[in-house]
Every structure is written in structure tokens, then in C-alpha cells.
Amino acid sequence: MQNSEMNNKRKEEIFKCDICSVELPSKVCMKEHESGQKHMKLLNAKNERMRVELKCGIFVKGYPYDIGQDVLLEYFSNYGSIVWTHFGHNFLLLDYSDPKAALTVINKQHRIHGRLLIVQYRQLRNQRTNSDVTASQPMSNLEELKTSRFLNHQVQILTQHLQGGMISWTHHSKYQTICRDISCALKPIFPKCATWPFGSTLTGLFFWNSDVDIYISGVRRPNDDDIGYLYRLRSILGSSQYFSNLIVIAHAKIPILKCIHTSTNTNCDINIRNALGVCNSKLISYYIEIDKKIKEMMLVIKYWAKIHRITGQNHLFTNYSLCLMIIFYLQSNPYHLPSIKYLQGNVPSYEPVHERWNGDFERKNVYCPHIRNTSLLDLLDNFFSYYADFDYAKYVICPYVGRPFERKFFQHAEDLPTIFSGYKQYLSVEKNIPFKIGADICVQDPFEHSRNTTPNVSENTLNIFIKFCRHAQKLCKEGESGLLHKMFTESPPNCDVTLLAQANFTQFGVTMGCNLKYLKEKLNAEKSSITIKDLWYESVKNFTLIVLKDFLSLQVDENEASSSKQIKLEGQTDIHSYLNPLIASYKCYGRLNVWHSRKVALKSTDKDLKTLIEKETEVTKQLVELYKNIQTTANIVEFEIVLEKRLEPAQVVFSLTKIASYKKTFKNFGEFLAKKFGSWFELYERDLNASC
């Protein structure tokens, strides 16, 4: 009898988790289990599935690109309490706490700024059709490149992946469809209009998801402002049913109209000013046609730069500037591709196509035996060698003349030789802006000689580019087998970029610079034996807390073992003289995504903000205010971040490990932080130096 009672008691003490279907012996174990990653993931999935099954969620598409997220949230919050939301590229997902609210939304028509919205019930990802799945990133798996022994075969695999199996005539057919629909919409009002392709669409260097760039002529008078015409085009194309999600980007250097071509689901960038963009693309196409290895080179280097975040927006290289650098390298010894000056030598009198610049050239038949007789491996090897050792501080990269030109000649236009007579004449006109020689790297546009195509490339980005060139050169020396896999997946040691980015783990680092005025003054005031490296490590730690708490609105708890815990991080190979390389370890929790739309929020503020901390803190306040109508009852991301010191060179390595996350929130957050932290810290130190 007594044994039976004890057995019953044991059974009563067993706790079962209905989410994970596991049995645990105590409440303490159950509590630990419920805070674990697997349980939280399954719980989030169950809650999402339940909201979808109860028809609490809706899918919204078709709103104008220029509509603010706050306007959409305010509009839909009028129908009920919103508990979750996600903004995609051109769609909105949101869940209501009550299915009646979602039903009310579904049963009504919705217009915002005159546009009829597409509103449907939300579906789970595994309910999507096969056609939806094909839109996933094609280069998610590089294993085929790893096992291939020959470079030509690797290039074939790469091209197939990057262009999605889309042969050139198919891509051209899609472009023709878009141009035909533009003409159908505009011809009744602008009978003389014509469409011109440019960018990767024309050169054949497109990726499977590339935008289509289009220049439209014959829709504006010379010297008229673009903006009014672009808004008129937006109205015409928007009412044609061929295009959706139209938005005018008015403050760009070349204002554009962004839209989506509905039948092909293609993003389009339309401008009515940049005729030289067409000329530039025709020039690249001309060089590509000289030898097929040139196109292969450009595709390989374009993807190599993209995957290592060398190309992009703001402080990075553009794909166009990278193509010019490849052409310039092939103009050098021993290849001697013709210069643009040579191609324009016999061009008759012309009508300038853009602000008096000549974009015409003669497509001369060129035979280049050195390129024909050089393997693709050697061409890549020599490219990386050329730019690993190029003197960027002294020379301007000038494809127009086909050789480097010293910067000092551009300081005073009168010092330039007669081959730049067009540029001198351009500068004789008042208010025309000269070539920017103050940038860290200068790549001159081959037609528009006053334009530096890399004016904003930062010193840090240039240094990273050089490091990657040296590393790629080393890989080329090792031979063809698996070369592209190594080029795309390996990074040089001690490089200030993402070292590792996975679904559950992200690692990146920052390296101590030389401009440490703010620390040197502090060091002089210290009486202890502390070193400037110690002060720098502490500065990184303090700034990290500012980023996590003030910039990203996270709750931060310091791990109790931070001061004594010994760890061995993945990827650690150097030997430390310190017994404990750990600087700090924190657990972080977040309920709001305040890293998704920071750039837009910063542009919208009208406050006069000077320092990085002032700007980013204000952005966070605006985003928190934006999401005030969303009831956040659970964390969308939980992770541990560890800061570890390296000695030679002085560096801090950040390792983020996921504890729990809603969908891909952690991975997106990790990629964002790895990309932004280095540039933020650089500006932070600049502000501190300025205040000394």
C-alpha cells in the first residue's frame, strides 16, 4: 500500500510540456525548459499557426512606395488591436488579437492615397505555392563550386545560379515586354518618347533578381526640372494597370521613378535625365564582346564583391565603378585594351547627350592576343595583384586615357594636358563642380570627366578591398580546384567585416585605429600602468552598451560570470598573453524591431543633430513612437553577446549566440549589427576626438 502511494506521488510530480511533448521531474526543470530555445521556437510557431488558423492575420499589398509605415499602422489599427506586424519589400503582414477585426478588414475595400489595396488572409510559409518558393536566393548553396576542379566549370555553375537559368534572350524578352508596356502607356501623351535600357540588363551582367534600369527620352523639354515630369509619369503609368507601387525618389543625384511591372513582377528604375547611363552600359558591353573571358571576369568579381559587402550603397563601391576598374586594369600592360580617348578619336561632330558631355564612341574591331592567350585564372590573379598594390593616394584611375593620372594635375585645371580640354572647358562655366580628388579612391567616369564614381568610398572600405584582393591573389596561386568556393567563403585574417553569419550565430570584429586623440589625453591623466590598448578595449565596451540600449532599445543584463568566465570562441587561433581574453558578456532581450527602417527615420527628422549618439538615439525614439500601437507581450529576439580581446593587432571580436527568436529576426539582427557597428564606432571615435 505504501509503495503504491509513493509511485502515485512520483507520477504526480512529473510535469509535461504540451508544446514540446517532453516530461520533466520538477517545476524548476520545467521553468528552465520553457526559457530554452527549442521551446520558444515551437511556442512562437504554435502561436503564429493559431493566429493564422483563427484568421487573425492579414496580408496587404499594392500600397504606394512613398506611404509611411506609420500611416499604414495607424489606418489598420482603427479596426482592432494589432499584436504583431512585419513590413516586407512591398507588402505588410499583421495579426489582430481578435479574428473579428481581421474579418472586418477582409470584407471591406481599402484605399490609401487613391490606391486600391490588395487585402487577403495571411498564410503560413509552408502553404505557399511552388512558384513562390522559386524566388528564394539562388546562391544559398556553394557546395557545387567546392567540388569542381576546373575554373571554367565553376564559372558555368556560378552563371547558372546568379542568372537563375535565365538565358540572355529570355531576359531580353522580359525587358522588351516592360518597354512595350511603358510605350503603350506614354505614347498617347508623349508621342516622341522612346525607352532605352542600361545597366546590367544591357551588359548581360544581371543577377536573377536585378532591377531593370530604363531611360525614357522625349518626355521633357531641355533644361526643365525632372521632378514634375516624373510625378506626371507616375500618374500615367499608375493608371495603366501595367505598373504598381510607384514612388518618385526626388532627392537622388539622378531622380528616378521606382515601380513594379505587374505581369513580370520586376522592379524598375526609370529616369528621364541620365542618357549617359545608356552610353556607359554600351561601353561596358563593347569591352565584354572583345573576349568572353572579360564577361566571366566581371561576373566573378561582381559576385565576389557583393558577397563580401565591398559593393553596395553609401560608403561602398558601386558595380559600375568596379566594372570601370576591371576595364582600366585591362587597359594596362600587357593587355592594352583601347582607351575611351582612342575610341572617340574619329567620332564626328556630336550633339552632347548630357550636360555637354560626349557619350559617343566608335566600336572598333580590336584583337587582344594577350587576353586571348591568358587563362581566366591568370586574368583574375593579375587583377587582384594590380589593385592590391595600386597607389590610390597618388593616382586617379582614368579609363578615358587608359593610364593612371596623378591627383595633383586635377588640383589646378590649367596643369592638365590637352587631352582633357573638354573638362577644362566644362570648368570654365561658373558653378560647374570640379572632379573630387579628396576621396580615398578616385575612379573617373570615362565620359563625364568631372565625376568621381567612388566619392564616398570610405578609407575602411578601401582597406578591406585591398585585404580581400591580397587574399584572393593568394587563393589564385593555389590553383583552380574549388577556387570560387574559397573566394566567396573565405575572408582574410583580421578583417573588419562579418567573420561568420549563421541562423544561430554571428561573429564580427573591430580593430583599433591610429587616431586616438581622446584616449591619449586620458592616458596622460592616468597615474597607473594602464596602456592605451586597455583604454581602447574599455571604450569599445562602453560604446557597445550605448548601441545595445540606446540605439537598439534592448534590455541588457550582464552575465554574472563575465569577470571570470573562460571561453574559447569559434575561429580563435591566436595566442593571448592574457589568461582571460573576455571583456564582457551580456544577455539581451528585444520586443521591437528598431533596426529595420533607421535610414528613413533619420531622413525624416527635422532636428539639428550633430553627433552620432544624438542622431541614432533620436531615430530610436521615432521608431518606438511608430510602434506604440502594437501590443508587444513577448520578445522577438533573445541572444547572448560576448566581447573578446585580441592582441596583435588590437581587436575586439563580438560573438552573438541565439537564445530565442521569432522567425529569422536573430539572423537579420546579427547581419545588421555586423554591418553597422564598425562604421558607427568610427563616427563615435571621431566625435570624441572632435570634443577634445
Q: Is the pLDDT of residue 23 over 70?
A: no
pLDDT category at 422 given cuts 50, 70, 90 is confident
Q: Tell me the C-alpha distance between 438 and 408, whole Å.
A: 11
Q: Is the pLDDT of residue 61 over 90?
A: no
Q: Which residues of 567-602 are buried (b: 16+ CB within 10 A; e: fewer)?
A: eeeeeeeeeeeeeebbbbbbebbbbbbbbbbbeebe
Contacts of 412 (CB under 8 A, 6+ apart): none
DSSP bridge partners of 217 = 194
Q: Is the pLDDT of residue 295 over 90?
A: yes
pLDDT category at 587 given cuts 50, 70, 90 is very high
pLDDT category at 641 given cuts 50, 70, 90 is very high
DSSP bridge partners of 275 = none
pLDDT score of 432: 84
What's the mean pLDDT in 306-323?
87
pLDDT score of 35: 62
Q: Is the pLDDT of residue 313 over 80?
A: no
Closest CA to 76 of 51, 97, 46, 90: 97
Q: Is the pLDDT of residue 130 over 60?
A: no
What single DSSP character describes residue 681? H
Whole-number Cα distances in Å, 412 to 408, 424, 453, 692: 8, 10, 20, 35
All three cell numbers of 166, joined, read 535565365
More confident residue, 20 or 462: 462
Per-residue pLDDT reduced to its tens digit, 425-435: 888 887 788 89
Question: Could you tell me if 20 and 39 are in contact, meaning their C-beta atoms sit under 8 angstroms apart?
Answer: yes
How far is C-alpha 91 from the geometric centre of its chain's CA atoms?
19
pLDDT score of 679: 86
How far is C-alpha 331 from the geometric centre of its chain's CA atoms?
30
Question: Could you tell me if 506 and 673 are in contact, meaning their C-beta atoms sit under 8 angstroms apart?
Answer: yes
Q: Is the pLDDT of residue 373 over 50?
A: yes
SS3 481: coil
DSSP bridge partners of 563 = none
| DSSP H or E segment with residue 318 | none
What single DSSP character describes residue 392? T
How far is C-alpha 326 from the geometric centre of its chain's CA atoms?
22
What single DSSP character describes residue 223? T
pLDDT score of 197: 84
Question: Could you tell me if 197 and 254 are in contact, meaning their C-beta atoms sit under 8 angstroms apart?
Answer: no
- Give phi and psi for 16, each to the nearest 5: -115, 135
What's the mean pLDDT in 683-691?
88
pTM of the predicted model as reported, rounded to 2 decimal places: 0.57
Between the two ends of the chain, the Cα-to-Cα distance in Å is 82
Q: What is the DSSP string of 78-138?
A: TTS-EEEEEE-SSEEEEEESSHHHHHHHHTS--EETTEEPEEEE---GGGS-HHHHTTS-T
Question: Could you tell me if 591 and 628 are in contact, meaning their C-beta atoms sit under 8 angstroms apart?
Answer: no
pLDDT score of 562: 44
Contacts of 527 (CB under 8 A, 6+ apart): none
Q: Tell me the C-alpha distance between 330 and 480, whole Å.
A: 21
What's the mean pLDDT in 658-677?
85
What's the mean pLDDT in 665-687?
88
Q: Is the pLDDT of residue 227 over 80?
A: yes
More confident residue, 478 or 24: 478
Q: Is the pLDDT of residue 137 over 50?
A: no
> Parallel, antiparallel, or unpaired for β 212-217 and 266-271?
parallel
Whole-number Cα distances in Å, 426 to 221, 286, 290, 429, 499: 22, 27, 32, 6, 46
For the chain, domains (ranges, CATH) are 54-127 (3.30.70.330), 168-272 (3.30.460.10), 310-477 (1.10.1410.10), 493-691 (no CATH)
pLDDT category at 489 given cuts 50, 70, 90 is confident
Give the mean pLDDT of the chain: 80
> Parallel, antiparallel, or unpaired for β 266-271 and 637-646?
unpaired
What's the mean pLDDT in 387-392?
94
Give the distance between the most distant pair of CA atoms in the chain. Answer: 112
Q: Tell me the C-alpha distance between 254 and 448, whole Å.
A: 14
DSSP bridge partners of 558 = 586
Q: Tell me the C-alpha distance between 671 and 226, whole Å.
A: 37
Contacts of 268 (CB under 8 A, 6+ apart): 178, 211, 212, 213, 214, 243, 258, 259, 260, 261
What's the mean pLDDT in 163-175?
59
Share of the chain above pLDDT 70, in %: 79
All three cell numbers of 644, joined, read 573578446
Q: Tell me the C-alpha distance between 599 and 577, whole Å.
A: 41
Quickly count: other Cβ atoms within 10 Å of residue 226's Cβ: 20
pLDDT category at 339 given cuts 50, 70, 90 is very high
What's the mean pLDDT in 641-651?
82
What's the mean pLDDT in 64-75?
78
What's the mean pLDDT in 421-428?
86
DSSP bridge partners of 22 = 17
Q: Is the pLDDT of residue 171 over 60?
A: no
Q: Which amino acid is at 668?
A: N
Tell me whether residue 87 is exposed, middle or buried, using C-beta atoms within 10 angstroms of its C-beta: 0 to 12, 13 to 18, 19 or more. middle
Q: Is the pLDDT of residue 165 over 60?
A: no
Q: How many helices (H) does the chain have, and how many strands (E)? A: 26, 21
All three cell numbers of 546, joined, read 550605448
pLDDT score of 15: 64
Q: Which amino acid is at 273?
A: R
pLDDT score of 556: 93
Per-residue pLDDT reduced to its tens digit, 496-520: 444 444 567 788 888 887 778 888 8
Q: What is the DSSP string of 625-679?
A: HHTTTB---S-SEEEEEEEEEETTTTEEEEEEEEEEESTTHHHHHHHHHHHHHHH
Q: Tell me the C-alpha distance between 203 and 323, whole Å.
A: 11
